């Protein structure tokens, strides 16, 4: 089985350093160009299923990929969302970071009001992957998601079920990572590949 992970394209919230979380933020002009390029980069690959977060920025990125694969099955899944920032969504990211520092004694279990902790996101990622891996033993699967989810998914696949921060798994907008499973063992083929953005 081959798993292709794609982060959504750029948004104005990113441009202006606004905490997005579960906001239904659309792609901006730059993000739409990025989405078009990642769609073309994956156009000739035989894809069996496309999973996508149901947040607008991910859906619009997924649609740019899916237009080259008109018969492929598409599944929108809220479990693929970014970490929910709760009361801080729509506010400057620095405000969220200051709040996180005020509660640093709680570490990765600090949860903003109406939001999620890093532990919550990691748990959600593990639960999604457990079901996904049972359902897909073969084929090529594309997952369009968010930077936090993708980072935690790669962490879980390659480092196990205990929470751990792996900075190398940071994903740029429309960055592509590819994991192949051979005899049940994962191998990282690509990590945050952005060559398509410079083509």
pLDDT single digits (tens) 78-88: 999 999 999 99
Q: What is the mean pLDDT of the chain?
A: 95
Going by pLDDT thresholds of 50, 70 and 90, the confidence category of residue 199 is confident
Cross-strand bridge partners of residue 185: 182
Domain total for the chain?
1
Q: Is the pLDDT at 164 greater than 90, yes or no?
A: no
pLDDT digits (tens, 9 = 90+) for 52-64: 999 999 999 999 9
According to the model, what pLDDT value does residue 106 have? 84
Question: What CATH number is given to the structural domain containing 75?
Answer: 3.40.50.1240
Q: How does DSSP assign 44-59, residue by residue?
A: TS--SEEEE-SSHHHH
pLDDT digits (tens, 9 = 90+) for 86-102: 999 999 999 999 998 99
Element spanning 134, H or E: helix 118-135
Domain coverage including residue 71: 2-198
Q: Is the pLDDT at 165 greater than 80, yes or no?
A: no
Output the CA–CA distances (angstroms, integers) from residue 10 to 36, 187, 188, in the order listed. Answer: 12, 28, 25
In whole angstroms, give the CA distance from residue 63 to residue 61.
5
Cross-strand bridge partners of residue 5: 143, 177
Going by pLDDT thresholds of 50, 70 and 90, the confidence category of residue 194 is very high
In whole angstroms, give the CA distance from residue 45 to residue 58.
20
């Amino acid at each position: 089985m081959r798993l292709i992970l794609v982060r959504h394209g750029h948004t104005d919230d990113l441009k202006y350093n606004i905490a997005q979380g579960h906001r239904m933020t659309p792609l901006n002009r730059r993000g739409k160009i990025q989405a078009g390029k990642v769609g073309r980069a994956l156009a000739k690959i035989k894809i069996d299923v496309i999973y996508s977060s149901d947040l607008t920025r991910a859906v619009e990125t997924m649609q740019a990929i899916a237009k080259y694969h008109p018969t492929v099955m598409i599944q929108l899944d809220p479990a693929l969302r970014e970490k929910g920032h709760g009361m801080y969504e729509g506010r400057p990211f620095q405000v969220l970071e200051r709040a996180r520092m005020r509660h640093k004694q709680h570490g990765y279990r600090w949860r903003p009001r109406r939001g999620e902790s890093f532990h919550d996101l990691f748990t959600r990622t593990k639960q999604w992957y457990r079901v996904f891996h049972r359902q897909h033993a073969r084929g090529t699967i594309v997952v369009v998601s968010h930077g936090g989810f993708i980072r935690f998914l790669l962490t879980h696949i390659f480092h196990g079920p205990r929470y751990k921060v792996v900075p190398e798994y940071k994903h740029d907008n429309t960055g592509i990572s590819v994991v192949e499973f051979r005899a049940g063992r994962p191998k990282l083929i690509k990590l945050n590949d952005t060559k398509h953005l410079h083509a």
